């Protein structure tokens, strides 16, 4: 017996919120009707379809209250760290300090989508000469320039080297606005030379020990800066605790992913999965709350799986998805086209892997930083994707190109070709700007063609 | 004739390649360099990177290619080169961070690794004295070239408007821009592109050259060349301000390849930084057309 669930609209959520409040014994401090965010300017929310569970409501409220929580932290005297680009390493360190909150100003890249350009930050970036030929992360520059969407951090830390040009260039412009940045180098991960001492990283890649030592020394510079700024100690013991806490959250996410990707009926829509995965990066500025939110989501998924409840039917096409979307509505479109997620690489697979707990903490963090899928070759990334696609039973691949991102010019085709030649599965590339209404019909056509092709192959 | 090693970046010292018994060549690639187009033009792809890959992968006499990773587009060419097993290639990581001892050490270790790559592909391990001799020769040749007269002077007797070229790598098609400036009554007195004087390494110190040539090589290249990709890139802006004043430049042309985010993002800041007018010229790897000529003409005229 299976129970079919349906996604609901923002209007539906607000209509049922009053009843929900009566039945919930414990409500998180960020609880409230979703519609308040729409009234605050997140106008795109009316275009999405949502998971109808209280756990998903908590997830959305947690995400959409981040700016308020950051400002509250600042007002309460907490130290704010702005980590940039490394996606998952620096926050693990900084959250090991008391009275410190770390976030990614990069996260502003969803603001133009959520606010349907209402915030004006892209216009500010335009005025600074960083136009639409750049990745939507240019919203970060506009946010710094206009002092919108997040308080100015007490310390900015940015990884460079094997990173996207657009990000590196935009971060440099942020510094040019008068916000000093502690730059740290992440070299391109490379294969060890014959006979060269090497290590195996989370995710299975190998790299020379010398690269680990170098990255560790770069992270030591960040440790020094954090300690100097906060006056706190980032000795190995608190770092170990920080790694343990991060691993608890990563373990939750891995379980959520496994259930979502492998259950007979999909227990969570793709939009909520994308948001949940994002919590791995900086815990949405509150590590303890992130753990509670994800635990609630995990429990909801468990109960659905055991009850055979979920979205779409067992017939849904299992799709592996590469790169996050600037236009969140696209994730709903996947389901409208009969697809469900069966594997993701949203550019931060390393932030979902467990950080080694059998190594000195700084070395473990260097291992993790070097496991970033974006700092190796596209072929490396494609290998991991192929492995996961096979493990999860994916039937098709979507490569979501990020408009203007320097890595997308070559990478998508290389990955798609490798998937086609290794697994003989169909793949499509799609691309849409942050508000992509004009692009959605063609994206829908492409995704529908993909799911139809995948279904047709089942009967072969 | 020694076998050719192609390289792309001014941060890869040709002296090091030559000392290993190869002929270093940093091409100015252009369309039509290759019989088969391995990389075709596509949205987001830097035209210079495309031309370079096509030239390197189809060149019959190349013993190897060194890709200096001063930008993401070049770093990602490694997947294209890896799929063509015929030509050995080496990814040379040029750190973006430059103000720390560990970044210098990383650069030095990359030189060391490059040396091993060259030896593995038929090169010889240079003795210190041999390296020092090669460096000395390159240093003298470089100074001699830099002292020579600029290539293009305007026709007629009218005094030329002193112009600076700024920007990144130039394709062969872009070289026509020097002549166009001259035809329009200007003269390029300062070349701040990736093939100009900006990227010349510092003159070698005789004493250090004799004592530890490899370290001196690393210091001269990694320690002194200002560039847009470096973090922070403040040295580039200091160079621009100092050199444009020293050369009495009256206008600057920023030449950038379309999809080159690094130069594009700094265009507005360079304009602010300069005390003279600037023309922002985006190029697509194709021959210069009326568009470029008209824009340069109008720009030079406005400086008269």
- A17-66 tens-digit pLDDT: 999 999 988 899 999 999 999 999 999 999 999 999 999 999 999 999 99
Is any Cβ of chain A less than 8 angstroms from the Cβ of B231?
Answer: yes
Q: What pLDDT band is residue A119 in, cutting at 50, 70 and 90?
A: confident
| Residue A197 reports pLDDT greater than 70 | yes
- What lies within 8 Å, CB to CB, of B217 at 6+ separation is B13, B15, B16, B111, B131, B135, B204
* The predicted structure's pLDDT at residue A460: 75
CA B63 to CA B6: how far, in whole Å? 8
Chains A & B: contacts with CB separation below 8 Å: 128
Which class for B234: exposed (0-12), middle (13-18), buried (19 or more C-beta within 10 A)?
A: middle
CB contact under 8 A, B103 and A185: yes
Tell whether the model's pLDDT for residue A157 goes beyond 80.
Answer: yes
**Average pLDDT along chain A:** 95
Q: What is the dihedral of CA B101, B102, B108, B113, to 10 degrees?
A: 180
Of B42, B71, B93, the CB nearest to A165: B71
- Residues from chain A that touch B261, judged by Cβ atoms under 8 A, are 133-134, 164-166, 168-169, 404, 406
Q: What's the CA gap between A358 and B45, in Å, rounded?
A: 42
Calculate the CA A167 to chain-centre distance.
Answer: 16
Distance of alpha carbon A447 from alpha carbon A451, whole angstroms: 6
Whole-number pLDDT of residue B149: 53
* Nearest CA distance, B257 vs chain A (angstrom): 13
The closest CB to that of A214, out of B42, B106, B269, belongs to: B106
DSSP A134-171: S-TTHHHHHHHHHT-SSPPPSEEEEEEESS-HHHHHHH
Residue B38: what pLDDT?
A: 80
Q: Is the dihedral of CA B123, B125, B127, B129 positive or negative?
A: positive
Residue in B84, B114, B231 to test binding to A, most A beta-carbons within 10 Å:
B231
User: Distance, in angstroms, between A187 CA and closest chain B CA?
Assistant: 7
Length of chain A: 460
Whether the CB-CB separation of B198 and B192 falls below 8 Å is answered with: yes
Q: CA-nearest residue of chain A to B280?
A: A129
> Quick one: which of A217, A253, A251, A219 has its CA closest to A357?
A251
* Residue B103 touches partner A, C-beta closer than 8 Å: yes
CA distance A81 to chain B (A): 19
pLDDT of residue B153: 59
- Can you give the pTM of this predicted structure? 0.96
CA angle (A209 as vertex; A212, B81 as ends), nearest 5? 90
Q: What is the ipTM of this complex?
A: 0.95
| Distance between A193 CA and the closest CA of chain B, angstroms | 9
Name which of B127, B229, B90, B73 is nearest A190 in CA terms: B90
The reported pLDDT for the residue numbered A1 is: 53
Beta bridge partners of A199: A207
Mean pLDDT value of segment A295-310:
97
The single-letter DSSP state of residue B21 is T
What DSSP character marks residue A408? G
The stretch A103-119 carries a mean pLDDT of 93
CB contact under 8 A, A190 and B79: no
- Mutating which of B9, B41, B44, B266 best tests the A interface, going by the most A Cβ atoms within 10 A? B44
Q: Quick one: closest CA in B to A180, which residue? A: B232
Answer yes or no: do B265 and A173 touch at CB < 8 A.
Answer: yes
Note whether B267 contacts A: Cβ–Cβ < 8 A: yes
- Whole-angstrom Cα distance, residue A157 to residue A161? 14
Structure tokens at A400: 């979501």
Q: Per-residue pLDDT for A420 more than 90?
A: no
Q: Minimal Cα–Cα distance from B124 to chain A, Å? A: 19
User: Is A59 strand, coil or helix?
Assistant: helix
pLDDT digits (tens, 9 = 90+) for A215-259: 999 999 999 999 999 999 999 999 999 999 999 999 999 999 999
The 8-class DSSP code of residue B158 comes to S
Query: Using CB atoms within 10 A of its CB, is residue B201 exposed (0-12), middle (13-18) or buried (19+)?
Result: buried
| Closest Cβ–Cβ partner in A129, A164, A378 for B267 | A129
CA A219 – CA A185 distance, rounded (Å): 9
From A368, A350, A371, A351, select the one nearest A359 (Cα to Cα): A368
Are B72 and A164 an interchain contact pair (Cβ–Cβ within 8 Å)? Answer: yes
Q: Give how far A80 is from chain B: nearest CA, Å.
A: 22
Beta bridge partners of residue B231, listed in sequence order: B97
List of E strands, A282-338: 309-310, 317-322
Residues on chain B touching A407 (C-beta within 8 angstroms) = 72, 76
Q: Which of A160, A217, A410 sits opposite B80 (nearest CB)?
A: A410
pLDDT at B156: 62
Q: How many whole angstroms separate alpha carbon A1 and alpha carbon A308?
A: 7
Kindly report each contact of residues A33-36 with a partner whose C-beta sits within 8 Å and lies 24 or more positions away, as own/partner: A34/A10, A34/A60, A34/A61, A34/A64, A35/A10, A35/A11
Spatial contact of A360 and A320, defined as CB atoms under 8 Å apart: no
**Residue of chain B whose alpha carbon sits nearest to that of A175:** B232
Distance CA B304, CA B18 (A): 46
Residues in chain B within 8 Å Cβ distance of A406 = 44, 71-73, 76, 259, 261
* Residues contacting B2, CB < 8 A, separation 6+: B21, B22, B23
Average pLDDT of the residues in A124-147: 96
Q: Closest residue of A to B45, CA-based?
A: A409
Q: Are A409 and B73 in contact (CB < 8 Å)?
A: yes
CA distance A147 to chain B (A): 19
Interface mutation target, options A177, A185, A224, chain B, most CBs of B under 10 Å: A185
What tokens does B74 get?
């070049």
* Structure-block tokens of residue A19: 């009843």
Predicted confidence at residue B154, as pLDDT, reads 57
Report the alpha-carbon angle B151-B154-B160, nearest 5.
105
C-alpha–C-alpha distance, residues A229 and A157, integer Å: 12
CA-based end-to-end distance of chain B: 49
Q: What is the pLDDT along chain B (304 residues), one digit of tens a residue?
A: 899 999 999 999 999 999 999 999 999 999 877 767 788 888 889 999 999 999 898 877 889 999 999 999 999 999 999 987 789 999 999 999 999 999 999 999 999 999 999 999 999 999 999 999 999 999 999 988 877 655 555 556 678 999 999 999 999 999 999 999 999 999 999 999 999 999 999 999 999 999 999 999 999 999 999 999 999 999 999 999 999 999 999 999 999 999 999 999 999 999 999 999 999 999 999 999 999 999 999 999 999 8
User: Which residue from A minimizes the CA distance to B113?
Assistant: A193
CB contact B108 to A (< 8 Å): no
Q: Closest residue of B to A404, CA-based?
A: B44
Name the phi and psi angles at B25, rounded to 5.
-140, 120
Torsion, CA A451, CA A455, CA A457, CA A460, rounded to 10: -170
């Amino acid at each position: 017996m299976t129970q079919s669930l349906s996604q609901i609209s923002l209007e539906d959520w607000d209509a049922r919120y009053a009843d929900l409040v009566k039945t919930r014994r414990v409500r998180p401090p960020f609880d409230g009707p979703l519609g308040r965010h729409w009234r605050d300017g997140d106008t795109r929310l009316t275009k999405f379809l949502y998971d109808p569970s209280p756990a998903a409501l908590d997830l959305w409220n947690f995400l959409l209250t981040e700016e308020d929580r950051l400002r509250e932290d600042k007002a309460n005297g907490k130290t704010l760290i702005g980590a940039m680009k490394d996606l998952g390493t620096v926050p693990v360190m900084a959250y090991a300090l008391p009275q410190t909150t770390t976030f990614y100003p990069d996260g502003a890249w969803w603001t133009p989508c959520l606010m349907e350009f209402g915030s004006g930050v892209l216009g500010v970036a335009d005025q600074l000469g960083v136009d639409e030929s750049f990745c939507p992360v240019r919203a970060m520059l506009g946010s710094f320039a206009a002092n919108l969407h997040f308080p100015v951090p007490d310390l900015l830390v940015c990884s460079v080297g094997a990173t996207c040009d657009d990000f590196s260039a935009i971060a440099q412009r942020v510094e040019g606005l008068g916000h000093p940045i502690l730059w740290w180098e992440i070299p391109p991960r490379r294969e060890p030379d014959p006979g060269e001492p090497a290590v195996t990283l989370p995710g299975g890649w190998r790299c020379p020990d010398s690269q680990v030592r170098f990255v560790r020394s770069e992270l030591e510079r960040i440790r020094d800066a954090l300690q100097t700024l906060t006056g706190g100690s980032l000795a190995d013991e608190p770092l170990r605790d920080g790694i343990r806490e991060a691993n608890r959250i990563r373990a939750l996410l891995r379980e959520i992913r496994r259930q979502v990707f492998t259950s007979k009926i999909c227990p969570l829509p793709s939009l909520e999965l994308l948001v949940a995965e994002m919590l791995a990066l900086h815990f949405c500025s509150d590590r303890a709350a992130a753990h509670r939110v994800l635990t609630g989501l995990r429990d909801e998924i468990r109960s659905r799986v055991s009850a055979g409840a979920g979205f779409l039917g067992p017939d849904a096409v299992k799709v592996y998805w590469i790169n996050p979307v600037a236009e969140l509505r696209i994730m709903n479109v996947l389901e409208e086209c009969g697809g469900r997620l069966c594997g993701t690489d949203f550019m931060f697979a390393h932030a979902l892997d467990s950080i080694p707990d059998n190594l000195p903490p700084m070395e473990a963090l260097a291992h993790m930083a070097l496991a970033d899928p974006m700092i190796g070759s596209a072929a490396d990334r494609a290998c991991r994707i192929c492995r996961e696609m096979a493990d999860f039973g994916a039937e098709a691949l979507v490569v979501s190109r990020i408009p203007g991102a320097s890595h997308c010019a070559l990478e998508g085709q290389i990955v798609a070709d490798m998937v086609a030649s290794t697994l003989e599965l169909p793949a499509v590339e799609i691309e849409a700007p942050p508000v992509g209404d004009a692009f959605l019909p063609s994206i829908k056509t492409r995704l529908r063609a993909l799911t139809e092709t995948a279904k047709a192959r089942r009967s072969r | 004739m020694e076998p050719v090693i192609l390289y792309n970046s001014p941060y890869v010292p040709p002296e090091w390649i030559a000392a290993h018994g190869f002929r270093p060549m940093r091409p100015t690639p252009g369309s039509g360099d290759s019989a088969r187009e391995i990389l075709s033009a596509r949205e987001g792809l830097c035209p210079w990177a495309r031309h370079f890959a096509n030239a390197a992968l189809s060149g019959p006499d190349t013993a190897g290619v060194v890709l200096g990773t001063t930008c993401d587009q070049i770093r990602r060419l490694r997947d294209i080169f890896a799929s063509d097993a015929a030509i050995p290639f080496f990814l040379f990581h040029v750190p973006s961070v430059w103000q720390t001892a560990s970044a210098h050490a990383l650069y030095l270790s990359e030189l060391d690794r490059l040396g091993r790559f060259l030896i593995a592909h038929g090169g010889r391990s240079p003795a210190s004295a041999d390296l020092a001799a090669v460096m000395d020769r390159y240093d003298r040749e470089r100074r001699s070239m830099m002292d020579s007269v600029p290539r293009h002077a305007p026709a007629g007797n009218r005094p030329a408007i002193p112009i600076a070229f700024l920007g990144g790598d130039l394709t062969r098609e872009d070289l026509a821009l020097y002549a166009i400036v001259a035809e329009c009554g200007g003269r390029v007195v300062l070349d701040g592109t990736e093939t100009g004087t900006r990227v010349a390494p510092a003159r070698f110190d005789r004493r250090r050259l004799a004592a530890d040539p490899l370290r001196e090589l690393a210091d001269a290249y990694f320690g002194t060349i200002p560039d847009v990709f470096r973090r922070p890139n403040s040295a580039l802006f200091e160079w621009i301000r100092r050199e444009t004043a020293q050369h009495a430049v009256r206008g600057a042309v920023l030449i950038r390849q379309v999809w080159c985010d690094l130069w594009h993002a700094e265009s507005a800041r360079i304009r602010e930084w300069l005390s003279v007018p600037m023309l922002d010229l985006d190029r697509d790897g194709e021959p210069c057309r009326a568009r470029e000529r008209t824009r340069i003409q109008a720009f030079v005229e406005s400086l008269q």
